[in-house]
């Protein structure tokens, strides 16, 4: 890590007696900081930390000492300890923008992207003009938090400053594809070709572009470029997964299964087992699907899709509602704004005859997403079970209005028959 060389004179502008330090103590702290900086330059980071710590015994109010020591911890990948130092620096000098940027870098490393973004935005407010690296950090945080539209203006500015930087075009193409701006994505992909980029990321983006434009042949060709025999097996596996997804998108299920099996054989990642589980479920091989969803969760306990599909394809058909509540509660713990998880859990509670809990979850889902036809079907069942036939009929009509597939759901057909409502 490159350390900022801040003139130590400015660290001690405040009156020596203001916080109880004598002039002599402040001088000692300054000299220790100077020695620590020299140790940093020589790569003797542990010794530098000791000297910064000793400096703080003479002047514990100096925000920059905490900042400098935090930078050393950051360079040693000791992110939590670094954050503690940056916290102290910010509490003593909240107007210094650089403090926020460094703490944000720690949060990025810890994958706490929302915290990182908050720090970067705080830092931006406290500087007159962002540096190149600061703009890059903001883009990274916006992309990690799926704020694609906010990332684009910064990427445009970065490309204006460095028009031949491949990484910027890769990021911007990702934004354009996410936003469905295919013309712009195509322009950037052509620029990447002009720049001679042969990275896996480019071919992956090309594949996704051709899939969105329904050019299957080109999608297959681009995906195959991502599979090179001299690449590490993890990279080859990603290429096979991508090719599998292309085949699956055009209903070539056998080819999709062959390629996802190749991916798993090379690198048994959670994501690959999840894809295969979805393929099995699609052809109603639910036992095999459950095994893959179980494996996905054992490898990645935060995989929301696996919890959801395990519930939908296994627990609900088997009426194992307690297992369903458990999986759906895990989804809600991971994503408290997941309207569909609340809706599904309301159905699981209904299955357990816990009608009050079912109703509470239905209301929570309604607050988040009032246009979900499955939610209204669940609410119709709950009101019917609670003896409120007027509200049950109202919910049935809402479900129909929002396009509930009545003919595929025996419970809903029962309600239609009970209330003599014509089936659509």
Per the document, the length of the chain is 424
Q: Distance between CA atoms of 152 and 136, rounded to whole angstroms?
A: 11
Give pLDDT, residue 14.
Answer: 41
Tokens representing 165? Answer: 């930087």
Cβ-proximal residues to 298 (8 Å cutoff; 6+ apart), any chain: none
Give pLDDT, residue 2.
Answer: 41
Q: Where do the domains of the chain lie, and which CATH numbers do they carry?
A: 1-128 (1.25.40.10), 329-424 (1.25.40.10)
If you average pLDDT over every residue of the chain, what do you get?
A: 92
What is the average pLDDT across 47-71? 95
Q: Are 97 and 123 in contact (CB under 8 A)?
A: yes
What is the average pLDDT across 239-254? 94
Give pLDDT, residue 20.
Answer: 53
CA proximity to 274, closest of 236, 300, 251, 312: 300
Give, as one character, the DSSP assignment of residue 314: I
Give, as one character, the DSSP assignment of residue 9: G
Residue 82 CA, chain-centre distance (Å), reads 23
Share of the chain above pLDDT 90, in %: 89
Cβ-proximal residues to 101 (8 Å cutoff; 6+ apart), any chain: 119, 120, 123, 134, 137
Give pLDDT, residue 330.
Answer: 98
* Cβ-count burial 72-105 (b if 16+ within 10 Å, e if not): bbbbeebbebbbbbbebbbebbeebbbbbbbbbb
Dihedral sign from CA coordinates of 137, 140, 145, 146: positive
Q: What is the dihedral angle through the alpha carbons of 149, 151, 152, 155, rounded to the nearest 10 degrees?
A: 180
Q: Taking every pair of C-alpha atoms in the chain, what is the biggest distance, in angstroms?
A: 92
Convert the pLDDT of each residue in 195-232 to its tens digit. Answer: 999 999 999 999 999 999 999 999 999 999 888 877 88
Q: What is the dihedral angle through the alpha carbons of 112, 117, 122, 124, rounded to the nearest 10 degrees?
A: 140
pLDDT band of 424, cuts 50, 70, 90: confident
* 60 has a pLDDT exceeding 70: yes
Convert the pLDDT of each residue in 273-317 to its tens digit. Answer: 999 999 999 999 999 999 999 999 999 999 999 999 999 999 999
**Angle between the 253-266 and 233-249 helix axes, to the nearest 10 degrees?**
160
Helix (H, G, I), strand (E, B) or coil at 25: helix
What is the average pLDDT across 75-89? 97
CA proximity to 273, closest of 303, 247, 252, 232: 303
Cβ-proximal residues to 241 (8 Å cutoff; 6+ apart), any chain: 259, 260, 263, 271, 272, 275
- Weakest mean pLDDT among 11-25, 152-166, 363-377: 11-25
Q: Are 208 and 182 in contact (CB under 8 A)?
A: no
What is the average pLDDT across 180-206? 96
Tokens representing 113? Answer: 């992207």
Give pLDDT, residue 396.
Answer: 97
Convert the pLDDT of each residue in 98-131 to its tens digit. Answer: 999 999 999 999 999 999 999 999 999 998 889 9
Convert the pLDDT of each residue in 10-46 to its tens digit. Answer: 444 443 444 456 888 889 999 999 999 999 999 999 9
Model pTM score: 0.74
Q: Distance between CA atoms of 273 and 297, rounded to whole angstroms?
A: 9
Q: Are 67 and 99 in contact (CB under 8 A)?
A: yes
Give pLDDT, residue 21.
Answer: 65
65-to-30, 145, 407 alpha-carbon distances in Å: 9, 32, 69
Convert the pLDDT of each residue in 306-353 to its tens digit. Answer: 999 999 999 999 999 999 999 999 999 999 999 999 999 999 999 999
Share of the chain above pLDDT 70, in %: 95
Q: Are 297 and 306 in contact (CB under 8 A)?
A: yes
Q: What is the dihedral angle through the alpha carbons of 185, 338, 303, 229, rounded to the nearest 10 degrees?
A: -10
């Amino acid at each position: 890590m490159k350390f900022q060389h801040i003139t130590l004179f400015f660290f001690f502008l405040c009156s020596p007696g203001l916080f109880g330090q004598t002039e002599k103590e402040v001088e000692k702290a300054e000299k220790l900081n100077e020695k620590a900086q020299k140790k940093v330059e020589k790569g003797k980071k542990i010794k530098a930390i000791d000297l910064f710590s000793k400096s703080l015994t003479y002047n514990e109010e100096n925000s920059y000492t905490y900042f400098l020591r935090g930078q050393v911890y950051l360079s040693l990948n000791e992110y939590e300890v670094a954050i503690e130092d940056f916290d102290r620096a910010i509490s003593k000098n909240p107007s210094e923008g650089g403090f926020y940027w460094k703490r944000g870098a720690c949060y990025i490393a810890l994958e706490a992207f929302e915290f990182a973004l908050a720090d970067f935005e705080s830092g931006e407010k406290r500087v007159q003009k962002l540096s190149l690296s600061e703009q890059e950090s903001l883009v990274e945080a916006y992309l990690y938090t799926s704020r694609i539209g906010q990332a684009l203006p910064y990427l445009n500015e970065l490309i204006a400053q460095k028009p031949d930087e491949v990484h910027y075009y890769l990021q911007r193409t990702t934004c354009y594809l996410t936003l469905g701006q295919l013309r712009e994505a195509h322009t950037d992909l052509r620029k990447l070709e002009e720049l001679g980029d042969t990275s896996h990321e480019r071919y992956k983006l090309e594949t996704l572009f051709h899939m969105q434009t329904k050019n299957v042949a080109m999608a297959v060709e681009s995906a195959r470029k991502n599979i090179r025999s001299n690449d590490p097996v993890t990279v080859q596996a990603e290429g096979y997964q991508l090719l599998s997804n292309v085949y699956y998108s055009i209903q070539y299920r056998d080819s999709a299964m062959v390629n996802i099996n190749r991916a798993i054989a090379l690198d048994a990642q959670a994501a690959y087992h999840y894809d295969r589980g979805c393929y099995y479920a699609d052809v109603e091989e639910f036992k095999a699907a459950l095994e893959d969803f179980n494996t996905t969760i054992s490898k990645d306990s935060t995989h929301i899709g696996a919890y959801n599909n395990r519930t939908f394809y296994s627990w609900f058909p088997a009426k194992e509602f307690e297992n369903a509540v458990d999986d759906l509660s895990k989804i809600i713990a991971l994503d408290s704004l997941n309207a569909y998880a609340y809706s599904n859990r309301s159905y699981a509670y209904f299955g357990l005859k816990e009608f009050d809990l079912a109703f509470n979850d239905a209301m929570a889902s309604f607050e988040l997403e009032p246009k979900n036809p499955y939610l209204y079907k669940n609410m119709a069942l709950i009101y019917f079970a609670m003896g409120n036939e007027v509200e049950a009929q109202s919910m049935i009509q809402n479900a129909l209005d929002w396009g509930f597939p009545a003919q595929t759901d025996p419970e809903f057909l029962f309600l239609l028959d009970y209330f003599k409502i014509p089936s659509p």
